[in-house]
Amino acid sequence: MTTDDAPLTLTEFSAAARLALLEAQSHDLSPYEALTLALQQATAGTGALGGFVHLRSDTDAGMRLVVAGGLPDRLTEEWAHLPADRDTTPARTMRDGSLHWDAVKGARSGCRAMVSVPLHGADGRLGVLTLLLWQAQAPDAHQRSFLTAVARWMAGRLGRRPYAALGGALRAARMTELTSALAEAVTATDVVDAVARHVLGPFGADGLVIQAIENGRMRVVGSVGYSQDFLDRHIEGVPTDSNALVAEVLRLRRPLLVESTQEFLRRFPGLRALTHPDKNAWAFLPLIASGRDIGCCVVSFALPRTFSDEERTLLAALGGLVGQALERARLYDAEHDRAQSLQRGLLPRFLPSLPAATAAARYLPASEGAAVGGDWYDLIALSADRVAMVVGDVMGHGIAEAATMGRLRTAVRTLADLELPPEEVLVHLNDLVEELGEDSYATCLYAVFDPVGRICTFCRAGHPPPVVVHPDGSVHHPEPAANPPLGAARPPFDTGAVRLPEESVLVFFTDGLVRSAGGDSDDGVDRLTRAVRDAVARTGYFAPGRPADEAADAGERLDELCGMVTTALTGDRPRAVDDAALLLVHTRAAAPGDVASWPLPADPRAAAEARRHVRRQLAEWGLEELEATAEMVVSELVGNAIRHAKGPVSLRLLRSRSLVCEVYDGSLTTPRIRRAAQTDESGRGLYLVSALSRRWGARYMDDGKCIWAEQDLTPDGASRL
């Protein structure tokens, strides 16, 4: 390894030690084990990222991948078969028999360079050893010498027909790996991926189609090496009884091996359309599970070939393995589809466009193979144009969790209709979750926005806080008090409130979104913040002149913004184990000219004074046609407050999509409609209010309550739609 008597460097000493280790290996190692060990030593000795070994194929002029280490599955599949005429580093090394080094540009795996060394045998070149390097620097003389020595040792362990000698062992090893992979496969896509990864390379195949029988027709579950157009025209949806080839495979219940295109046309002259210019040999495998025919697996080859007895045995075993795995996967897929349908049915079909808020949302299910989750969101209209916003996540995955999500969402809407404050809503939700059992937990964020004061009140239980986007494009993170998750909390719940600038956007999300955006939740929130800021800037969402007050336009732009944020966060994410939800809410303040309020005296004069205020204000708003009804409603509400309540009394009118009349007092007594007897002289006030109003109700504050009633406006009377 060195010249003269110069002392060995640490790198040279390591290389020499690794060569000595290889030379000390007994000849009991199989060729496959020997190549694997040598690749490991070559990778470690050069500090390479990984590598692979190709051997000359016995069936074509190319090379087949026989050993790989330190490489992702995607890269391994790309290098499974290497045509002799391809302009790659290993192919050039095989052609001219010399070491080649090339820089690699644009590689996403961190590889900066590639070096290939030929394996020289007694009868010529046997194959190529290739390493992927993280430095774009050509190997020095010592590294070249080391790699050449490793390649020489590898060639010495191979026979005259190395691929034939290794083929059986390699295929057997891959079948063992396939068995493990199929046992772990959850979905039909997993089954296809496992077969493509563990079968195509060892068998020298370049095409795969897995078909399932559904209602007497063939459905393509997955494929490799075939265009979608070919599959759609010749395979997808074809009746099983109209395809002589499929019928024969299912009748024989054993592999049907076709070694050339000529043989295919001789046996199935009516199926010329199924031949493919790049496929010249096929293995048709029946897929059987629990004694039932469930489909067919087709493995195809670029060149004609003769199948050995060993290959025939392994292909027969392959059909059985794939059939059982596919049946399990199809059952799972069906169950998963039912669960997702249930979950989608429990989420809002659409979000309302309200006077004070427009919303857009995205629900992102977990990746195929993961159970459904319990994420949900909602937007609820309250009285006086106030808006309730909710987002939550039931911990765990499965149909039970999805059903729990539905119960919680229904409960939230019921509690919101009762006009309960956020902290009381969470108290009742906590009781509901506790009743589900000690292992049931959920997180929830409930917020109420009041457009008159632009105050947003938050209460959260184990849920991440929202993000607020101001009209200048800046992003802020309010921190409402944290409370434990539902099911683990002990009331009371702490709340927080912020005053929002006009035309702000609130961003609510579940942790599945930020965890999928980064491994750590804090990093994920940072990415979410950047994604929101970038999307706002790119779309010019708050640009001057945009008609933000038009609900339709605001909804379209907000939906575009929502889509851009989710794409930025999840477009390149790996398989997600958790579902995620994103809710964007564009808030709008009430115009000062649409709100009027007055204090009232706490004596019988209050009703008459309230009627005068109503007449003047409706005349100013051009709503004289509502005057008579509004006067009666206000008179009854004020009269009830004076007779039955206490504390200061006040009146407020709000003009929006409806006319809202509100009477405030200092009492917490609950108003009720009672059935008055024919001889009673009172008790009909709230009954009259109910008859004259579209809807009415009461909500409570710390210092009293508000009784409100809504009346429909004529189209010309509304100033904010």
Q: How far apart are CA 11 and CA 126, in angstroms?
A: 29
- pLDDT digits over 668-707, tens only? 877 766 665 444 445 566 878 888 889 999 998 888 899 9
Q: Taking the CA of residue 655 as centre, how many other CA atoms within 13 Å lie in the half-sphere pointing to its CB?
A: 23
Q: Taking the CA of residue 471 as centre, how many other CA atoms within 13 Å lie in the half-sphere pointing to its CB?
A: 13
Residue 717, pLDDT score: 43
Max Cα distance, the chain (Å): 125
Task: Identify whether the C-beta of residue 510 lies closer than 8 Å to the C-beta of residue 563.
Answer: no
Position 528: which residue type? L
- pLDDT digits over 184-218, tens only? 888 888 899 888 888 887 777 889 999 999 888 88
Structure tokens at 86: 């391809």
List phi, psi (to 5°) of 646: -145, 170
Position 651: which residue type? L
Residue 517, pLDDT score: 47
H or E element: which one contains 460? strand 455-461
List phi, psi (to 5°) of 456: -115, 120
H or E element: which one contains 628? helix 627-644
- pLDDT digits over 12-26, tens only? 667 788 888 888 887
Residues of the chain where predicted confidence (pLDDT) is lower than 70:
1-13, 58-61, 73-74, 106-109, 159-174, 367-372, 516-521, 545-553, 572-577, 672-685, 714-721
Domains defined for the chain, CATH in brackets? 10-160 (3.30.450.40), 169-338 (3.30.450.40), 350-587 (3.60.40.10), 592-717 (3.30.565.10)
Task: Identify whether the C-beta of residue 679 lies closer than 8 Å to the C-beta of residue 692.
Answer: no
Residue 384, pLDDT score: 94
Structure tokens at 281: 């040999």
Residue 3, pLDDT score: 47
Q: Mean pLDDT score of the chain, rounded to an integer?
A: 84
CA torsion sign for 484, 487, 491, 492 is positive
- pLDDT digits over 386-419, tens only? 999 999 999 887 778 888 898 999 999 999 999 9
Spatial CA neighbour of 666 closest among 599, 718, 716, 611: 599
Residue 435, pLDDT score: 92
Spatial CA neighbour of 353 closest among 659, 696, 585, 654: 585
Residue 163, pLDDT score: 54
Structure tokens at 522: 């804090």
Q: How far apart are CA 295 and CA 292, in angstroms?
A: 9
Residue 654, pLDDT score: 96
Q: Which residues contact 514 (CB under 8 A, 6 or more apart)?
A: 464, 521, 524, 525, 527, 528, 569
Residue 410, pLDDT score: 93
Question: Locate tokens 């496992």: which residue?
Answer: 194
Q: Which residues contact 10 (CB under 8 A, 6 or more apart)?
A: none
Q: How far apart are CA 281 and CA 117, in angstroms?
A: 32
Position 683: which residue type? G
Residue 370, pLDDT score: 53
